[in-house]
Homo-oligomer: A and B are copies of this chain.
Amino acid sequence: MSKKQILLNAFQMNCVGHIQHGLWTHPQDRSIFFNDLDYWTSLARTLERYLFDGIFIADIFGYYDVYKGNVDITLKESVQLPTNDPWTLVSGMAAVTNNLGLGITATIRAENPYAFARRVSSLDHLTKGRLGWNIVTGYSDSGARGLGYGELEKHDERYDRADEFMEVVYKLWEGSWADDAVVVDRTRRVYARPDRVRAIEHNGAYYKSNAIHGSSPSPQRTPLLFQAGASDRGRAFAGKHAEAAFISAPTIERARELSRKIRKAAIDAGRKADDVKVFAGLAVVVAATQKVAREKFDEYLKYANPEANLTHFSASVGIDFSKFDLDAPIDYGVSNYIQTSSEYAAERRFTVRDLLREKALSSHYHVIVGDAAQAASEIERWIDEGELDGVNLSRVVVPGSWEDFGQLVIPELQNRGRFKTAYGEGTLRHKVFGYDRLQDNHPAARYRFA
């Protein structure tokens, strides 16, 4: 049996501090240039040179104001504030690449589905089918205040709304224009055939839309769908809609458990276990030797800011850790999130001091440190024992972490037959799954133009 090919995304955000906080102060880190288009086009070229399958760009509306009840550390360390719109980057990066997938996060609560569907189709056209969409329902109270909804909806209601939003955009992407609608016949003067185009009809609980989709069918129609829901309701949503699920797991065991749950959710939704590619977030610090890699890690630690990581983590779990005594045990039971993300949580009580130590470099992902062979072996182990398909590789310093990985780890994975040596053909979906359009077992299929 041939070994499973490992899928690889660079995990990025249109901001300074993304996951490994404080590293913007490192002399080699270029994240402070995120406002510049050159930073993004240069990065896109680099990732394509190393054959990354895609760049996956997170996003958030709102900001981290739980820790100490303010945004002081958030702003001083630029913990995802400011964060610019990731959709604005797509055509710029597409202009300098040919194969790199462009997976972009959009928050349903911020979008009108008719306008959003057109934006996505436009970009799928411009990228010749390289677009992915990471579906987010939105979880920040400050984001809800900014977007004007006051209080966040209850968790499950957010997913009900998201399910309906998907229905609207599926109707627009899959059902408004037939495949043979656009004929571009100059002699007969027929750009598109009126009998092959129709207005969608949607009058639901959250959304109304009754019109022809503004864009003609793009290469993928529906973009490649990513999702990262961690709750049971979120996983049910992912099982129904997602073609790629992104998980956050501190251990391989936890990754395997989450991967199995997601694949079960897909099966429960009438799809196949491998219709969803599962990606884990990882960081890798790699160098020519194990010793140099460890030195590099220790050097990074000097620039990291555990309090900034704790600021991010406090908002993620909704607990202001500044109120705890450094050595007092925390009742982690209050947050399901902590139980799922912390090695400490599964076995024992932990303290803020534990958290600060654990989160010295990152509040979220496992960090692999080693030479190329070690890093490759560890990644293989995550993929195989974790029952994963790919890695969302977060950055410690940018673009250094991805450069190091491309120069050292990718050739090693290629030698082991675990990583492609050239891009596949066609659209992003074709590269990942071997077909351009969603299959019949996907819920979008029922809205196709008959």
B70 touches A194 (CB 8 A): yes
Is the C-beta of A328 less than 8 angstroms from some C-beta in chain B?
A: no
What separation, in Å, do the CA atoms of A218 and B34 have in the docked complex?
12
Is the C-beta of A179 less than 8 angstroms from some C-beta in chain B?
A: no
Chain B's closest residue to A38 (CB) is B95
Residues of B with C-beta under 8 A to A61: 114-115, 118, 214
Residues of B with C-beta under 8 A to A70: 194
A71 touches B212 (CB 8 A): yes
A84 touches B189 (CB 8 A): no
B215 touches A84 (CB 8 A): yes
Interface residues in A212-227 (C-beta closer than 8 Å to B): 212-216, 218
Residues of B with C-beta under 8 A to A83: 214-215
Is the C-beta of A6 less than 8 angstroms from some C-beta in chain B?
A: no
Is the C-beta of A82 less than 8 angstroms from some C-beta in chain B?
A: yes
The interface stretch among A120-128, A293-301, A313-321, A422-430 is: A120-128
Chain B's closest residue to A110 (CB) is B115
List the number of copies, as a whole number.
Answer: 2
Among A32, A84, A194, A215: residue with most chain B CB under 10 A: A84
Can you list, as one digit per residue, whether each of A65-92 has a CB less than 8 Å from chain B (1) or not (0)?
0000011100111100111110111111
What separation, in Å, do the CA atoms of A216 and B75 have in the docked complex?
11
Interface residues in A193-216 (C-beta closer than 8 Å to B): 193-194, 197, 199, 207-216
B76 touches A126 (CB 8 A): no
A24 touches B191 (CB 8 A): yes
Can you list, as one digit per residue, whether each of A266-292 has a CB less than 8 Å from chain B (1) or not (0)?
000000000000000000000000000
B91 touches A126 (CB 8 A): no
- Shortest CB distance A144–B (Å): 9
Can you list, as one digit per residue, whether each of A5-18 has a CB less than 8 Å from chain B (1) or not (0)?
00000000010110
Say which residue of B27, B150, B186, B189 sits within 8 Å of A208 (CB atoms). B150
Say which residue of B88, B193, B208, B214 sits within 8 Å of A84 (CB atoms). B214
Say which residue of B25, B78, B177, B218 sits within 8 Å of A192 (CB atoms). B78
Is the C-beta of A184 less than 8 angstroms from some C-beta in chain B?
A: yes
What separation, in Å, do the CA atoms of A72 and B88 have in the docked complex?
34
Chain B's closest residue to A25 (CB) is B186
What separation, in Å, do the CA atoms of A391 and B300 have in the docked complex?
55
Q: 24 pairs across A/B with beta carbons < 8 Å? A: A22-B189, A25-B187, A25-B189, A32-B184, A40-B91, A63-B211, A63-B214, A71-B197, A71-B212, A75-B192, A76-B193, A76-B194, A81-B214, A84-B122, A85-B115, A87-B119, A89-B91, A92-B126, A95-B95, A111-B112, A111-B115, A147-B209, A148-B207, A148-B208
Which 9 interchain pairs have the tightest Cβ spacing? A146-B211, A91-B92, A78-B191, A84-B122, A35-B125, A148-B208, A85-B122, A110-B115, A114-B146
